Each structure stands twice: as structure tokens, then as C-alpha cells.
Amino acid sequence: MLMRLENIEKTYRNQKHPVIQNVNLIVEKGKTTGILGKSGSGKSTIGQIMAGILKPSEGTVFFQDQALSYPFPKEVRQKIQILFQHPEISFNPRMSLLESMKEPYRFRKTLFSMEILLEELEKFGIYEEHLKRDPSSLSGGELQRLALARIMLMQPEFLVLDEPTSMLDVISQAQVILLLEKLQRERNLGYLFISHDYELCRHFCHRIYYLKDGRLKEGGEECNDE
Ligand SMILES: Nc1ncnc2c1ncn2[C@@H]1O[C@H](COP(=O)(O)OP(=O)(O)OP(=O)(O)O)[C@@H](O)[C@H]1O
Ligand SMILES: [Mg+2]
């Protein structure tokens, strides 16, 4: 088991009622767990708890059978990364894209090499000229592929994918999905895939949960399993 949620509940500050309760969920190594649910049902809340951004009010988060405390320890923060719906959130607007791409090297205390970075970025369809441009001048698809390349430089084992393609056009969507599938195969990554697109979820996920009224139900069907 890569990651597991046990009886997770979250009540936001100044609110009376929990937005999610009794949430139990598993993600296996090399597999994708999907969460489907309407807008406001609490999908991102679950994703942010698993990414360590948000502390649950109740319950326990396990990573590789280790119960985690918040904030997550540094070595776990490196292994768990998140890709957001809006790719620009992944980049500090006051930093050049090249500076942003250097950050993972700093975090991992490894030597930066422009040559190796560019070789890596090529796999994501990103080139040197993109890095020289202002982040806001890149297309949504380019920026999301760069955001994905950036979190991959952290050498993660688990990714939270919070509707990573919902702001993109059809071609860019397919590019990102194909990249995610390839990366999963090559690096045995576990994914939490948040979506409101049933067909996409069925195509992409090995296990699907439905979120309704703050509670999670397993889909009772295993899809896309070899
Ligand atoms: N920081 C916050 N403080 C108070 N309430 C919040 C906060 N963040 C989210 N909520 C509320 O919690 C509920 C669940 O929000 P969440 O963003 O998890 O839903 P979602 O399923 O991801 O929705 P969408 O599909 O629109 O992204 C919503 O009612 C939302 O307004
Ligand atoms: Mg959301």
C-alpha cells in the first residue's frame, strides 16, 4: 500500500459542519485512485490533505504504512507532490521559469545542470525558449507540462492530480494524460486523480470512489486494470 486515509474528517475554521467525514481511501503503488464528485463536494479538500497542505480535523494519513503528522517530514514532502487545476498556481510569478525549475535541485541538494534539465524537459515537450519567456505567455498546456516536469524533478512516489486537465483544450488534455500514463509506467507512481469527468476517470483510474454529501463510496468496479 502506498497511501491510505483512515476515518478522515475535515471541518474548516469558523464552520459548524465537516465538509468531509469518515473518509477511507487507498492508493496502491503504480496505480491510480480516482475521486469523482460534484463541485464543492470536497474533492480538493481530500487532495490537499493527502498532499500535506491541509491538516485533517480527525483521522490518520498513512504513507507506506507510516502514520504522518502535519507538517509532513521533509523526506515525505519530497515524495508527495501535487498538480493543480490552474497550472499558474505551481509557479511563483515573481520568479523566472528557469529559477522555478532550479528549486527542486536545491531542495534535493543536487547539482544543477542546464544540459540535463533541457534533456529532461524535452520529454515534456518543453524547450529552452519556453524557459526564457514570461510564465503568463505560455499556453495552459505548456505551463501544465512544465509544472509536471517540475514536480517530477523532486523524484516523487505519489502525485495528487487535482483536475489537472480541466482547464486545457482537448489536445493539451490528451498530451498531459499520455505523459501521466507514461510516467506512471516508467516510475511506478501512485496517483490520486480528482475529476468530475466520469469517462476520463474510467479510462484513467484503476479504482474509483464517489464523493457525495461529504462521504466517500467506492465505485464497486475495477477499471482499466491489466
Ligand atoms: N479554506 C476554506 N474555508 C472554508 N470553507 C472552505 C475552504 N475551502 C473549501 N471550503 C468549502 O469546502 C467545500 C468543499 O470544497 P472543495 O474545494 O474541497 O470542493 P471540490 O469538490 O474540490 O469542488 P470543485 O469541483 O469546484 O473544485 C466547499 O463548500 C467549499 O466552499
Ligand atoms: Mg476542487
Specify if 133 maps to a domain: no
Model confidence band, residue 175 (pLDDT cutoffs 50, 70, 90): very high
Specify if 43 maps to a domain: yes
Q: Calculate mean pLDDT across residues 83-103.
A: 95
Instruction: Give me the pLDDT at residue 218, please.
Output: 85
CATH of the domain at 82: 3.40.50.300
Specify if 164 maps to a domain: yes
Instruction: Give me the pLDDT at residue 223, please.
Output: 43
Specify if 166 maps to a domain: yes
- Identify which ligand lies nearest to the alpha carbon of 48: 1
Instruction: Kindly give the interhelix angle for 140-152 and 170-187, rounded to the nearest 10 degrees.
Output: 10
Of 10, 11, 12, the one to substitute when testing ligand 1's pocket (max ligand atoms within 8 A of C-beta) is 12
CB 40 less than 6 A from any atom of ligand 1: yes
Of 11, 13, 15, 19, the one to substitute when testing ligand 1's pocket (max ligand atoms within 8 A of C-beta) is 19
Model confidence band, residue 33 (pLDDT cutoffs 50, 70, 90): very high
Q: Calculate mean pLDDT across residues 65-78.
A: 96
Grid coordinates belonging to 219:
465505485
More confident residue, 222 or 81: 81
Element housing 182 (H / E)? helix 170-187
Number of independent structural domains in the chain: 1
CB 48 less than 6 A from any atom of ligand 1: no
pLDDT of 225 strictly over 50: no
The pTM is what? 0.95
Specify if 19 maps to a domain: yes
Atom 3, ligand 1: which residue's CA is nearest?
A: 12
pLDDT of 226 strictly over 80: no
What type of residue sits at position 126?
Answer: I
CB 12 less than 6 A from any atom of ligand 1: yes
- Under a CB-based contact definition with an 8 Å cutoff, are residues 83 and 159 in contact? yes
pLDDT of 9 strictly over 60: yes
- Identify which ligand lies nearest to the alpha carbon of 40: 1
Distance, CA 151 to ligand 1 centroid (Å)? 24
Specify if 22 maps to a domain: yes
Specify if 81 maps to a domain: yes
Instruction: Give me the pLDDT at residue 63, please.
Output: 98
Pairing of strands 58-63, 3-10: antiparallel
Atom 16, ligand 1: which residue's CA is nearest?
A: 42
Range of the domain at 43: 3-93+156-222
Q: Calculate mean pLDDT across residues 39-50.
A: 97
- Which pairs with CB-CB distance under 8 Å and at least 24 residues apart come from 109-118? none
First to last CA, the chain: 18
Q: Which of 61, 32, 40 is nearest to 211 (CA)?
A: 40
Specify if 60 maps to a domain: yes
pLDDT of 119 strictly over 50: yes
Q: Which of 163, 215, 154, 170 is nearest to 194 (CA)?
A: 163
Half-sphere exposure (CA, 13 Å, Cβ side) for 181?
13
